[in-house]
Amino acid sequence: MTSVDRAEIRAQLERWRREGRFTPRCDSWLAGYDEDFSRLLGARGWIGLTWEQRYGGQGRGFADRFVLTEELLRAGAPVAGHWIADRQIGPAVARWGSEELKAHVLPRIAAGEARFCLGMSEPDAGSDLAAVRTRAERVSGGWTLSGQKVWSSHAHRATHAYVLARTGGSPTGPDRHEGLSEFVLDLDQPGVTVRPIPDLHGAGHFCEVFLDRAVVPDAWVLGTVGNGWAQVTDQLAFERGGPERVLSTYPLLRLMVDGAGGWRLGELVARLTALRALGRRVAARMDAGEAPVSAAATLKLLGNRFEVDVIEAARGVTRADMGAEDWSRFTAMRAQAQLSAPGFSLRGGTTEVLGVLVARAALEEAR
């Protein structure tokens, strides 16, 4: 049992939709960016649910967060402004951050004021994240970061970045998993240049981030210097294991179920039921203090396939299947979903890479 009231969340979101606070859309956790809406959720106590109350959180569990995030995604609410911070950087700061960092950043995230982007990928480090070249150099009282990050979603609107950088080791050598460290960076400083990259949507969210001796104080280092690989691996379980890896196209499915029906939808709904059960198990393991890396990868692998199959089913729906108003909403949503779909299986780890990870974990277990 969870202590969050699903019906209350659903009713509140419906009220906000009717008041015109948002228009439902697909892929709302990455493409639905609205800072005012993030602040509205913050004021309602719906950001930072899992961290302690003294840091602006609600002291609830991941099972509760699962319910809340499911409802936000089902409603197609614009949650991209705070999603990365709420999903993974907040929990990483809560676990690995200094007291000073926690006190500074967590309440601001929970209020919808601090917005994070992820500085993991680089031009030559995507699937092979350990090939990161961005350098961290020791200076008095902290570190400077120099290098280039790419595909950092919403970096041009973010206040802070999570940065994976190299404090030792080499990006190509056998020791490349060593010498990685994690930093929280204030983006409002001279050493940071952010350039948006246009995507299929036109404006979009992708950015390049150039760092030239950008400054990070010691208290903003996450965890132990040099232990970044182990820490980021745990963080990826939080990145991959949530309902957003299943529900990016849910608003489209909902319109089809309400309007068109048909056996193909029955199969999709059955798959969704199984994926939700897996998602709840991942959340329960997070509540038990685990970082369920391979279960989260399995959820993302199967969830992404489901999200794309929803779009595939939508391509078969015709004008005759629903009323005029629903049809216009449906075609707009289907177009949004189709534009976002190429990214589903890339973001957060590609299908091939997750397949390798899941297979390795299964072999390990069988030994």
For residue 210, the cross-strand partners are 148, 193
CB of 54 to ligand FAD, least distance (A): 29
Nearest distance from C-beta of residue 343 to ligand FAD, angstroms: 3
Return the structure tokens found at 306.
């489901």
Examine residue 2 and tell whether it contacts ligand FAD (CB under 6 A). Answer: no
Considering the complex, what minimum distance in angstroms separates the CB of residue 127 from ligand FAD? 3
The span from the CA of 180 to the CA of 23, in Å, is: 41
C-alpha pair distances (Å), 183 with each of 24, 214, 228, 300: 34, 11, 9, 26
Residues 112-141 interacting with ligand FAD (rule: CB under 6 A):
117-121, 126-127
Number of residues located near ligand FAD, criterion CB under 6 A: 18
**Looking at 36-44, 98-106, 173-181, 352-360, which segment touches ligand FAD (CB under 6 A)?**
352-360
> Which residues lie closer than 8 Å to 284 by C-beta, 6 or more apart?
62, 63
Residues 363, 314: Cα–Cα separation, whole Å: 37
Contact predicate 341/308, CB 8 Å: yes
The yes or no reply on residue 352 touching ligand FAD (CB under 6 A) is yes
Q: Which is nearer to ligand FAD, 87 or 102 (CB)?
A: 87
Residues of this chain, 148-207, that bind ligand FAD according to CB under 6 A: 151-153
Task: Check residue 215 and give left, alpha or beta (phi > 0: left; psi -120 to 50: alpha).
Answer: beta
DSSP state letters, 147-195? EEEE--TTGGG-SEEEEEEESSS-SSSTTTTSSEEEEEEES-STTEEEE
Binding mask 280-299 for ligand FAD (x = CB under 6 A): --------------------
Which residues are tagged catalytic? 239
- What is the SS3 assignment for 316? coil
In the complex with ligand FAD, which residue's Cβ is closer, 256 or 308? 308
Q: Which of residues 311-350 bind ligand FAD (CB under 6 A)?
A: 343, 346-347, 349-350
Q: Which is nearer to ligand FAD, 121 or 231 (CB)?
A: 121
When the beta carbons of 6 and 360 are compared against ligand FAD, the nearer one is: 360
28 binds ligand FAD (CB under 6 A): no
Please count the residues of the chain: 367
Residues that bind ligand FAD (CB under 6 A): 117-121, 126-127, 151-153, 343, 346-347, 349-350, 352-353, 356
